[in-house]
Amino acid sequence: MSILIVYGSLYPWTFEARQFPANPLYILLHSWDANSLSRRLLLDVVLNIAVYIPLGGSAYLAMRGSKFQTWAALAAVAIGTLLSASVEMAQLFTPNRVCSAVDLVSNSLGSALGVLAGFVLKRISGTRGELLGFHFRDRSALALLLCWVSFLLFPLYPDLWLAALRAKFSAVIDPSGASFVLILLNAAEWFVAGRLLLASGARSPLRWLLVLILLVPVQFAIVNHSPKAADFFGAALAAVAFRYLGTRPGADGWAATALLIALTLRGLAPFHFEGPPQAFSWVPFGGFLGSEWQNTISILLGKLFQYGGSIWLLNRAGLGASLATAIVIAILSGIEILQTWTPGHVAEITDPLLALLLCLGFHALGRR
């Protein structure tokens, strides 16, 4: 996680020799740019907190075997703070980057929240009793569910302007938002969410699935979210399918097949192939880092759920973790290669690499 943060924070790794009136640490501690609580500043704070939550959580969980849990928590926060301070000072020597003490505080807070999240995850995943109708049997399933909920709600920033709400409601009746591919993808995703609820130990997975589906209309009030007709049709179709097929033998294999087919169709739409082929980018996360952070993290959370869910389902269907990962990597690589002939798509190495990182993450979590 630390490597990914450093990679993204210093991308594209262009440095310039500069002279400063004081040492970098002094400049960092005096670089407060919070004079006005603008919407942009608040969004940046939310994003900086969100980026460091996984770091704090993973650092705490890595040291959870320590006899002194308080020291493990403090060490995890210290790691996040030191990493953030180092990155902020390094950004003094990069173009188009800003050294900010506000970012440092936000990152430290994110690390602390990550420790809290790790503590909660450790507690509820190891509980022997029942909590809110869950027995918490599968940590990987729980982590994927958290990714899905985070994708639906990120960045948790309200967008209640009347003009924005009107535009979002108008998008629901747009025919382009109800294509077969989008409906299939949404239905597959929500069916996978039902299987994850079942594996997580939910006593009434269908009831919990219906509760989560209520988050779709909630997205109208969240910035950078605009639900489409396909979101509603797909969720309704998934609820019906899960009611009759969700607990049958072979459901994991069916769900994995449907999700991978939907991802392939979406990745190759609108199915117009032209030559000569575009260049293939071997720079990991180049497309993400060249976009707005709000959209980047939301898209990343969605892909973590989609690719992680595919690997998890194939593994549950009887394939080994390595074989399941290899299949998902092969499919994603094939999509990226074909996208070199598809206008409107950017072919890069990021998606296959994400699948590999997810396999390593599942191994670290340790399925139970």
pLDDT, tens only, 62-76: 776 656 678 888 999
pLDDT, tens only, 306-318: 999 999 999 999 9
pLDDT of 302 higher than 50: yes
| Same domain flag for 80 and 166 | no
Asked whether residue 161 is domain-assigned, the answer is yes
- Contact status, residue 22 vs residue 72, Cβ threshold 8 Å: no
| The pLDDT of residue 367 | 42
Domain boundaries, position 321: 135-368
Query: Of the candidates 52, 50, 51, which has an alpha carbon nearest to the alpha carbon of residue 76?
Result: 52
| Same domain flag for 172 and 113 | no
Of 95, 125, 155, at which residue does a domain stop?
Answer: 125
Q: How far is CA 240 from the centre of its chain?
A: 26
Tokens coding 20? 């400063």
Asked whether residue 130 is domain-assigned, the answer is no
| Same domain flag for 248 and 286 | yes
| Same domain flag for 159 and 256 | yes
Q: How far apart are CA 226 and CA 215, in angstroms?
A: 12
| Same domain flag for 117 and 164 | no
Asked whether residue 189 is domain-assigned, the answer is yes
Tell me the pLDDT band of 94, cut-offs 50, 70 and 90: confident
CA distances from 180 to 231, 234, 258, 310 (A): 11, 10, 13, 20
- Contact status, residue 98 vs residue 41, Cβ threshold 8 Å: no
Cis peptide upstream of residue 12 (ω within 30 degrees of 0): yes
| Same domain flag for 274 and 173 | yes
Average of per-residue pLDDT across 49-63: 85
| The pLDDT of residue 362 | 86
Q: What pTM value is reported for the model?
A: 0.81
| Same domain flag for 311 and 179 | yes
| The pLDDT of residue 154 | 85
Looking at the structure of the chain, the number of domains it has is: 2
pLDDT, tens only, 111-124: 999 899 888 777 76
24 versus 201: the higher-pLDDT residue is 24
pLDDT, tens only, 153-186: 987 778 888 888 888 888 888 877 788 999 999 9
| The pLDDT of residue 129 | 45
| Same domain flag for 79 and 223 | no
| Same domain flag for 100 and 159 | no
| Same domain flag for 107 and 192 | no
| The pLDDT of residue 235 | 97
pLDDT of 278 higher than 50: yes
| Same domain flag for 151 and 265 | yes
Average of per-residue pLDDT across 271-290: 82
55 versus 46: the higher-pLDDT residue is 55
Average of per-residue pLDDT across 330-354: 92
Q: How far apart are CA 252 and CA 200, in angstroms?
A: 14
Asked whether residue 306 is domain-assigned, the answer is yes
Of 80, 99, 125, at which residue does a domain stop?
Answer: 125
Of 125, 156, 171, at which residue does a domain stop?
Answer: 125
| Same domain flag for 156 and 208 | yes
